[in-house]
Amino acid sequence: MSNNDSDNVTVTPAAAIKRLKVAVTSAVGEVNRLRGEVARMEVQGDELEGLIRGVTSGERSPREMIDRISILEDENRDLRARLNQGREGVDCLLARIRFLEEQK
């Protein structure tokens, strides 16, 4: 393990606070985006429940339900992938925040 000068860079409190503010703002933005994605998934779940009620009551065809389920499954896979990416980004930001807090 080398011990070069770049590993021992001193960060001023003002610079650390500025970095922390940027990181927190980014994290809050990501959390808000993820909340929107979750809300969208909940709406899709409600749509699916309505579709199931329609099929069981005879108002809608089973084919329509199968097609919609397929579309929702594709969208859910995409949303899960995005949520995982968002979690990774938030974890990275939290690690940076912890690092900056330790520099105080």
Structural domain tally of the chain?
1
**What is the reported pLDDT for 5?**
43
pLDDT at 93: 86
In a domain, 6, yes or no: no
81 is a domain residue: yes
Q: pLDDT 10s digit of each residue in the chain, 104 long? A: 444 444 556 778 888 888 888 888 888 888 888 889 889 888 888 888 887 888 788 777 778 878 888 898 998 899 889 888 888 888 888 888 888 888 76
In a domain, 48, yes or no: yes
Q: Is residue 3 part of a domain?
A: no
- Give domain status of residue 2, yes or no: no
Angle (CA) 88 91 96, round 5°: 130
| Rounded-to-integer distance, Cα 55 and Cα 97, Å | 50
Residue 41 located in a structural domain = yes
Let me know if residue 68 belongs to a domain: yes
In a domain, residue 42? The reply is: yes
**The two three-digit tokens of residue 79, written as one number:** 């949303």
pLDDT of residue 104: 67
